[in-house]
Structure 1
Amino acid sequence: MDTHQTTSLLVGLAALVVLARLLGVLAQRLGQPAVIGEVLAGIALGPTLFGGAVTDALFPDDIRPLLTALAAIGVAVFMFIVGFDWDAAMIRGSGGLAASVSLSSILLPFSLGMLLALHLMDDYGTGDRTAFMLFMGIAMSITAFPVLARILTDRRMNRTPLGVVALACASIDDVLAWTLLAGVVAISGPADQEQWRIVLAVPYLLFMLFVIRPLLRRYAARRPELRLTPATFAFVLAGLLLSAAATEWVGLHYIFGAFLFGVILPRSGVERLRDEVQDRLGQMNGTLLLPVFFLVAGLNVDLSGLGTSGVGALLLILLVAIGGKFSGAFLAARLNRVPVRQSAALATLMNTRGLTELIVLNVGLQMGFLGPDLYSLMVVMAVVTTAMAGPMLTWVVGRPGQDSGRLRIKDDDAERMVDTTI
């Protein structure tokens, strides 16, 4: 890099960080997750507004490969944190309700998404018909566990029965969605002379789960109150990057390796370590690297030429995305004898897509499953479904403190009510 490139990169990053922070705070003031404002900051710098003139001035073409590299690191770190936060104990403690709601809220939107892909095939389809259909099904099935957790925390519902069930449902959704996406990438990814490497994905998964994971547990058990020392921090960073590199090399996307490394880290006795990882790694990632990802994602969003047909396609996408996810979760909850109000609350929360959806959409764009036009419409869907979650939840269960944490489950003879103070 020469002096001009270095100067442009540093100035552009400073402007991006400030803009993302300002719009993030504004979103929070409006009762929205900060990620909404940060995503809009990325879109605002893209070609949708002013023909991309702002981005051309701040980020010339010769430094954009550097932005893509920074965005990749940010996504890898984010996926690691998601995996580190994922806890199977939530699923075990929620009984069959979470499993049935999760499966239904995946299967119905997945099926509707594939049907939608058939309808959109002529205008937006890619070369691989099967991959396009499968990917659209996955994109309609996503629930963003981190954003959902943030909404529940802000409303002081994360420890209520309703909140615990919603988090369990979202965690199952995450694992199912990532598994489906990994399968689609493995089957339909670009063919090359090194495609044989994909057969190493299963041995790598087994090695991480049954060799590395027990070793890490033994290490943590010998060191009670493990803290994030410089050596531990270096190990965590190196581990997530190497795991991400391994899955990228075998033919899966690097996000799966980063997520897997977070999943295999010990859970018991490392509560302080988890908090410190969130504080140090998460804060830096959320302040600098993820806004870069939003910028890179926004550079591929162009709504300036959206015509009547595009608006029609967008409305249909929103109908399938919102209706499929809501109906699947709501019907499953009702079949488990959860009353209408609580069933609607669960279904509303499961419609939260956020950053997770953007990561999936960018994988689809990179792998050729989505074209630029449909990608732009899908990003709008991700923003809309995330923005509507908070207001919809308030409409369904009321504001915090208005009995919104109770979860009543009816059986044949009586009504059980799990109550908690919020």
Structure 2
Amino acid sequence: MFFIQLAVILLACHLFGWLAERLGQCRVVGEITAGIVLGPTVFGRLESSLGQSVGLFETQHIGWLAHVADLGLIFLMFQVGVHINQRHPEASAQGRFAALAIALLGLVLPFALGVGVALVAHEHLAPTYSKWGFAWFCGVALAVSAVPVMTRIVQSLALQETLVAHVTLRAAVITDVVGWVILGAIVFCSRVDGNPLDARYFAAQLLVAFVGFYGLTRYLVIPFIRRAQARDEHAAIMPMVISYVLLCAWVTDWLGLHCAIGALLAGLMMKQVPEFTHYWRNQVEGFLNFVLLPVFFAYAGIKTSFASLGSQENLIWLGVFLVCAFVGKFGGAYLGARVSGLQRTDSAIVGALMNTRGLMELIILAIGLELKLISIDAYTILVFMALIITATTTPLVRRLLRPDPHVFLSKEMLQTRSSH
């Protein structure tokens, strides 16, 4: 059954991704939708209605799916860490200020709204979970942006060389880095549960682990890769890197954090390796994007349940989270852009792009569900929130471009390397 399941997942994600592109959406919107459709509420009911239920994606038949999804998540987070290190064109002081202002206000406002709404919703959505852990986590979930998805949208709209795109991508990277730091702090606090002795012991473990990561990277992995490059033995690079990533993921998982955090740290530490992004893109990225990533989407969809949206109260909470997430992120980013001197249309485009969620949202939600920071009802609500808001991004940006598609093409605040 493993091969049939994998074939169905890959075909469904490809088909829905293609349909999304035909409808003017980003491909990831279709891929996330495919994962939800393959879940028990849609695919399971379709099987039952046909009287041919084979339980293709029932719980007892998807044990392998969790492991493959985790593998996809590990390498996806490593890839995110590697991409964070890519240098963008140099910006002027005003351009850097714009990115910081957009990131700060685009993070603080939705985070505050998320925490506030979660504190009120806790009794209904997650009564058996830690109240403040749930609230802080929802704040992070509403505050993050999806840099990979945003990059795809920018490319699909041919905005790569615009001031707005460069400033927004910089701001999104800053937002995600801060978001991951906050998420790490939340996981740390939930792990020690307020016990000072446990906190000191766990902090000591983390310190030893991070020092070990650094030593392993600097004195073993990077020298090995450089020697392989010097000897033109490129085939030896990826086995070492993949083993290194899996080791880092295992250590953080063993410490009680999450395997994704170790993979992210591994990616951040690879910035010292010249041309590594080129090796990764040529040898691994295609397999990750077309095989492992669809499995991650499918597993995320299988864990969602339309039954969670069956009650009127849960639908109301979905609406509340949608409004707070959109208004908080759009409003905060818009204010940050205006404060930094961008025009109204430019600022509105920044706000729309910063509302891109998709992949990063699913990653964070998967971590929260696995670490028991959120309930399945809250998980389902936040997955649909991410899907709906991401689906609005491309049409909204297109709408904003209609009055004058060249209004934001000024590069007064942006100096590319070619000008040096």
**Match of residue 294 from structure 2:** 291
How far residue 103 of structure 1 moved from its aligned partner, in angstroms, is 1.3
2:324 is equivalent to residue 320 of structure 1? yes
How far residue 181 of structure 1 moved from its aligned partner, in angstroms, is 0.6
Counterparts of 1:214 and 1:397, CA distance in 2: 50
Counterparts of 1:80 and 1:396, CA distance in 2: 34
2:63 is equivalent to residue 62 of structure 1? no
Counterparts of 1:417 and 1:127, CA distance in 2: 47
* Relative contact order, higher structure (CA 8 A, sep 6+): 2
CA offsets 1:164-214 (integer angstroms, 9 cap, x no match): 111111111111111111110111138699984453223433444577247
Query: Taking structure 1 as reference, are residues 395 and 213 closer, same or farther at Cα in structure 2, changes over 3 Å only?
Result: farther
Matched ranges for 1:153-232 at <5 A: 153-189=155-191, 196-209=201-214, 212-213=217-218, 229-232=234-237
**Match of residue 36 from structure 1:** 29
RMSD: 2.9
Query: Taking structure 1 as reference, are residues 50 and 265 closer, same or farther at Cα in structure 2, changes over 3 Å only?
Result: closer
**Match of residue 3 from structure 1:** none
**Match of residue 306 from structure 1:** 310
**Match of residue 348 from structure 1:** 352
Assess if the C-alpha contact under 8 Å between 1:406 and 1:417 holds in 2: no
**Match of residue 50 from structure 2:** none
Matched ranges for 1:332-411 at <5 A: 332-398=336-402, 402-403=405-406, 405-407=408-410
Give secondary structure in 2 for the equivalent of 1:265.
helix
**Match of residue 146 from structure 2:** 144
**Match of residue 77 from structure 2:** 79
**Match of residue 280 from structure 1:** 283
Q: Percent identity?
A: 30
Give secondary structure in 2 for the equivalent of 1:48.
helix
Assess if the C-alpha contact under 8 Å between 2:19 and 2:30 holds in 1: yes
**Match of residue 20 from structure 2:** 27
Give secondary structure in 1 for the equivalent of 2:62.
helix
Counterparts of 2:137 and 2:265, CA distance in 1: 21
Counterparts of 2:37 and 2:267, CA distance in 1: 32
Partner of residue 134 from structure 2, selected from 110, 126, 132: 132
Give secondary structure in 1 for the equivalent of 2:41.
coil
Assess if the C-alpha contact under 8 Å between 2:115 and 2:138 holds in 1: yes
Q: Which residue type is aligned with residue 32 of structure 2? A: V
How far residue 60 of structure 1 moved from its aligned partner, in angstroms, is 4.3
Q: TM-score by structure 1 length? A: 0.87
Counterparts of 1:211 and 1:80, CA distance in 2: 16
2:255 is equivalent to residue 254 of structure 1? no
Partner of residue 240 from structure 1, selected from 245, 263, 275: 245
Query: Taking structure 1 as reference, are residues 25 and 227 closer, same or farther at Cα in structure 2, changes over 3 Å only?
Result: farther
**Match of residue 4 from structure 1:** none
Counterparts of 2:408 and 2:251, CA distance in 1: 42
Assess if the C-alpha contact under 8 Å between 1:198 and 1:252 holds in 2: no
Counterparts of 2:409 and 2:212, CA distance in 1: 42
How far residue 283 of structure 1 moved from its aligned partner, in angstroms, is 1.4
Counterparts of 1:314 and 1:70, CA distance in 2: 30
Counterparts of 2:118 and 2:219, CA distance in 1: 43
CA offsets 1:337-384 (integer angstroms, 9 cap, x no match): 111111111111110001110111111111111111121111001101
Give secondary structure in 1 for the equivalent of 2:55.
helix
Query: Taking structure 1 as reference, are residues 165 and 11 closer, same or farther at Cα in structure 2, changes over 3 Å only?
Result: same
Counterparts of 2:345 and 2:336, CA distance in 1: 14
Query: Taking structure 1 as reference, are residues 155 and 228 closer, same or farther at Cα in structure 2, changes over 3 Å only?
Result: farther
How far residue 417 of structure 1 moved from its aligned partner, in angstroms, is 6.9
Assess if the C-alpha contact under 8 Å between 2:55 and 2:61 holds in 1: no
Q: Which residue type is aligned with residue 109 of structure 1? A: P
How far residue 240 of structure 1 moved from its aligned partner, in angstroms, is 1.1
Assess if the C-alpha contact under 8 Å between 1:45 and 1:52 holds in 2: no
Question: Which blocks of at least 5 consecutive residues in structure 2 are unaligned?
Answer: 48-52
Assess if the C-alpha contact under 8 Å between 2:102 and 2:336 holds in 1: yes
Partner of residue 13 from structure 1, selected from 6, 14, 18: 6
Give secondary structure in 2 for the equivalent of 1:370.
coil
How far residue 36 of structure 1 moved from its aligned partner, in angstroms, is 1.1
Assess if the C-alpha contact under 8 Å between 1:405 and 1:419 holds in 2: no
Question: Which blocks of at least 5 consecutive residues in structure 1 are unaligned?
Answer: 1-7, 409-415
**Match of residue 5 from structure 1:** none
User: Which deviates more from structure 2 when the two are superposed, residues 148-157 or residues 220-229?
Assistant: 220-229
Give secondary structure in 2 for the equivalent of 1:337.
coil
